[in-house]
Amino acid sequence: MLYADVILPLPLHDTFTYAVPQNMEDNIKRGCRVVVPFGTKKIYTAIVARVHDQRPDFPEIKSINELLDTTPIVTEKQLQLWKWIASYYICTIGEIYKAALPGGLKPKDENAIREKNKRRRNLFAQDDTFLNNEKCVSSLSEAQQKAFDEIEESFKSHNTTLLHGVTSSGKTEIYINLIKKYIDEGKQVLYMLPEIALTTQITERLEKVFSDCMGVYHSKFTDAQRVAVYQKQISNEPFKLILGVRSSIFLPYTNLGLIIVDEEHESSYKQQEPAPRYHARNTALVLANMYGAKTLLGTATPSFEVYHAARKGKYGYVELNQRYKNVKLPDIHVVDIKELRRKKLMKGAFSPVLIDAINEALTNKKQVILFQNRRGFSNFIECKNCGWVPRCEHCDVSLTYHKKNNQLTCHYCGNTYTLPECCPACGEKNFINKGLGTEKVEDQIKEIFPEATTLRMDLDTTRSRTSYENIINDFAEHKADILIGTQMVTKGLDFDNVSIVGILDADTMLNQPDFRSYERSFHTLSQVAGRAGRKDQQGQVFLQTRNADSDIIKQIVENDYWNMFYNQMMERKDFHYPPFYRLINVYLKHKDNQLIGHLADDMAALLRKSFGDRILGPDCPPVARIQSMYIRKIMIKIEITASTEKVRNALTAIQSQMLQQPVAHGLNIYYDVDPM
Ligand code: ADP
Ligand code: ZN
Ligand code: ZN
């Protein structure tokens, strides 16, 4: 009799053992999918982790219902990677399985499986329609060629190399040449981007060269399309090039030779919610290592972790500090809006100089990008009479007003509310909008420049893949003069005709109470500035701030990465922050507010027994209740040299101890390792 230990798509640490019916014995293997009963009624698609003949020690052993594959659908290397992620990021293998496979490969009930199988077959035929054979790789410039050669040279002695190239230096062209070289050598390449918006443009550039051997993978594709890419990867003829966002590290590969992590500094490479809370750049390094592949990390503004490693010689380092065609870096004008507000010279969110610059750009048929890091119309609404602010019923946050549908939305749980006719506290009908969202910026633009056409790119306007593509293509074709957006417009987009970039409010980023806020502001503001003047003329950037005299603003203006890095690193060292220390946030969630306080104190006390003064907290996080669950946070700062295994074992032991207490019923404990 054979037994199979299987991984279920549930937050469970352990595998579950089922009996293998005789008719499946010949075909069942590690990595195959099986349909298994679970509990009294449920049926799940599970992954076989081990087949063996040791009868487990419990009376009734359930049997597998169905074997879905005769060859493994999850490869040995994938299972190895899952194991690493579960152990490093302290989560369960079941959570990784859920995240790693497209939905269509893990349907819950058998009917759905048959349905999906039918659809999948159809899709394969469809897939070939985007193939074309036009080939074009660009004549690299001298500076680009030099960087290319240096990358090759550094790969002789390093597995990972940082390409530190200013915005618009032509990093993408270097990647294209590098990808071509690896593919010609018969290797596979993974090209990772931090943002779906970016894949649109890069796909177009790459398709011209690699169309017949390239697959694109991200969450805005339909499930069937993602299943098709996945299936192709385990077929005899896998894609040679995969372009994708962070989840593409979960695809099966056969002979991966190179991973490119573009815009490696982007915090969106870290998954926040739900588990696995993995960092795709760091996981990519582990993946590359498993294949003996090289990794190129590209950016104009390296993350501290990566720059630090490059300076210490752990990673190779290649610099490219001129823009393609030698176009000058944009000229950044700092606009002190504190003064202007006092003198009442601002028109809404716009300073007079910015208005003049936009006017001039519009006259010269140039385009403008405006960056405001908040979506919606206003951050919140307030009763002018009594100060009442509408808040979410389930989360500890005020609601964001969306004017288009006259709705209040919770940006944490997604619940929407209608705007009350009058204030429920005092009965007055006098609401004021506080704060600035992209929707309000668009309104103000229409008032100041009625003849200008606008596009808006934020979470509200990009619900589907086509909406991304439409916005980006329309702006590239100059169907609009002004693009207004959240951080989505800051990342790596390449438009030829943009002469002006306006940063409407740099301060909300700078004022975040977080040790990374300077580093993050430098990245974001330098990146958005880099969207200006990419093709011929030098671009102009208007950076509106109340902190015009601060060091960080000066460093951004002078593109002085080194001083920003150096100053911040001194602080990080003094206060025991990354990259000198490793952080782990422990979160506790419970629906009882009083109980969570006690439980968090208990857990912190237990942690202090093992970790001493490396423990900080417990604290209430900035939003201390989400979806009716109260949250507490405990921070652990650990020496970089400490064994991750020992730390994990200590944490999981304390977690079990906590959860064993009857009073802890309903308590949820989870970890964020290397939080961003
Ligand atoms: P980066 O990724 O460094 O910001 P890009 O790779 O997007 O820069 O290059 C900026 C612009 O210059 C793009 O429009 C690109 O097409 C163009 N470009 C860069 N290198 C070349 C080249 N060797 N030949 C032709 N065009 C190039
Ligand atoms: Zn009121
Ligand atoms: Zn909410």
Helices marked H in 185-311: 196-210, 223-233, 280-291, 304-311
The reported pLDDT for the residue numbered 212 is 79
Q: Which residue has the tokens 């999850």?
A: 74
Pairing relation of β-strands 668-673 and 407-409?
unpaired
Looking at the CA of 263, name the nearest ligand.
1
Q: Is the predicted pLDDT of residue 512 greater than 90, yes or no?
A: no
Burial class (CB in 10 A: 0-12, 13-18, 19+), 517: middle
The reported pLDDT for the residue numbered 535 is 85
Side chain identity, residue 658: M
Q: What's the farthest any 2 CA atoms get from each other in the chain?
A: 85
Q: Which protein residue has the closest C-alpha to ligand 1 atom 4? A: 168
Q: Which protein residue has the closest C-alpha to ligand 1 atom 20? A: 170
Pairing relation of β-strands 256-262 and 188-192?
parallel
Helix (H) or strand (E) holding 543: strand 540-545
Which of helix, strand or coil describes residue 157? Answer: helix
Mean pLDDT of 110-123: 41
Q: Is the dihedral of CA 103, 104, 110, 115 positive or negative?
A: positive
The counts of H helices and E strands in the chain are: 19, 28
Model pLDDT for residues 285-297, shown as the tens digit of each residue:
999 999 999 999 9
Which of helix, strand or coil describes residue 635? Answer: strand
Confidence band, pLDDT 50/70/90 cuts, at residue 308: very high
CA 322–ligand 1 middle distance (angstroms): 12
Using alpha carbons, select from 492, 573, 577 the residue that is nearest to residue 534: 492
CA 383–ligand 1 middle distance (angstroms): 50
The reported pLDDT for the residue numbered 109 is 43
CA 416–ligand 2 middle distance (angstroms): 21
Q: Which protein residue has the closest C-alpha to ligand 1 atom 15? A: 170
Report the predicted TM-score, pTM, of the whole model to 2 decimal places. 0.92
Using alpha carbons, select from 624, 376, 397 the residue that is nearest to residue 389: 397
The reported pLDDT for the residue numbered 286 is 98
Q: Which protein residue has the closest C-alpha to ligand 1 atom 14? A: 494
39-43, 197-201, 644-648, range with greatest mean pLDDT: 644-648
Q: Rg of the Cα trace of the chain?
A: 27
Q: Which protein residue has the closest C-alpha to ligand 1 atom 24? A: 138
Question: Which ligand 1 atom is at minimum distance from the Cα of 165?
Answer: 3
The reported pLDDT for the residue numbered 136 is 64
Provide the token pair at 466: 């086509």
Looking at the CA of 166, name the nearest ligand.
1
* Dist CA 52 CA 19 (whole Å): 10
Question: Which ligand 1 atom is at minimum distance from the Cα of 320?
Answer: 3
- Give domain 142-325's CATH architecture: 3-Layer(aba) Sandwich (3.40)
Ligand 1 contacts CB of residue 298 (under 6 A): no
Ligand 1, pocket-test mutation among 198, 205, 324, 527, most atoms within 8 A of CB? 324
CA 396–ligand 2 middle distance (angstroms): 20
Class for domain 581-673, per CATH? alpha beta
Looking at the CA of 386, name the nearest ligand.
2
Q: Identify the DSSP state of 637.
A: E
CA 391–ligand 2 middle distance (angstroms): 14
Mean pLDDT of 122-151: 65
Looking at the CA of 426, name the nearest ligand.
2
Class for domain 328-378+435-568, per CATH? alpha beta
Q: Which protein residue has the closest C-alpha to ligand 1 atom 9? A: 170
Helix (H) or strand (E) holding 562: helix 561-574
What are the boundaries of each domain within the chain? 3-126, 142-325, 328-378+435-568, 581-673
Ligand 1 contacts CB of residue 170 (under 6 A): yes
CA 386–ligand 2 middle distance (angstroms): 4
Mean pLDDT of 143-153: 97
Do the domains at 142-325 and 328-378+435-568 have one common CATH topology? Answer: yes
Mean pLDDT of 476-491: 94
What is the percent of the chain with per-residue pLDDT over 90, rounded to a whole number?
83
Ligand 1 contacts CB of residue 262 (under 6 A): no
Ligand 1 contacts CB of residue 138 (under 6 A): yes
* Dist CA 97 CA 108 (whole Å): 14
Q: Which protein residue has the closest C-alpha to ligand 1 atom 18? A: 170
* Dist CA 482 CA 471 (whole Å): 11
Provide the token pair at 347: 């028109």
Confidence band, pLDDT 50/70/90 cuts, at residue 511: confident
Mean pLDDT of 493-519: 92
Beta strands in 304-415 (DSSP E): 316-320, 331-336, 367-371, 380-383, 400-402, 407-409
Q: Is the predicted pLDDT of residue 30 greater than 60, yes or no?
A: yes
Q: Is the predicted pLDDT of residue 129 greater than 80, yes or no?
A: no
CA 396–ligand 3 middle distance (angstroms): 7
In the predicted model, what is the mean pLDDT of the chain?
A: 92
Ligand 1 contacts CB of residue 527 (under 6 A): no
Q: How many residues belong to the chain?
A: 676
Confidence band, pLDDT 50/70/90 cuts, at residue 465: confident
Burial class (CB in 10 A: 0-12, 13-18, 19+), 310: buried
Side chain identity, residue 384: K
The reported pLDDT for the residue numbered 651 is 97
Model pLDDT for residues 468-482, shown as the tens digit of each residue:
889 999 999 999 999
Ligand 1 contacts CB of residue 165 (under 6 A): yes
Model pLDDT for residues 182-228, shown as the tens digit of each residue:
999 999 999 999 988 888 889 989 999 998 799 999 988 889 999 99
* Dist CA 281 CA 262 (whole Å): 9
Q: Is the predicted pLDDT of residue 117 greater than 60, yes or no?
A: no
Number of Cα atoms under 13 Å in the Cβ half of residue 629 = 14
What is the percent of the chain with per-residue pLDDT over 70, rounded to a whole number?
96
CATH for the 3-126 domain, from 3.30.200.20, 3.40.50.450, 3.30.1600.10, 3.40.1440.60: 3.40.1440.60
CA 276–ligand 3 middle distance (angstroms): 22
CA 391–ligand 3 middle distance (angstroms): 8
Confidence band, pLDDT 50/70/90 cuts, at residue 134: very low
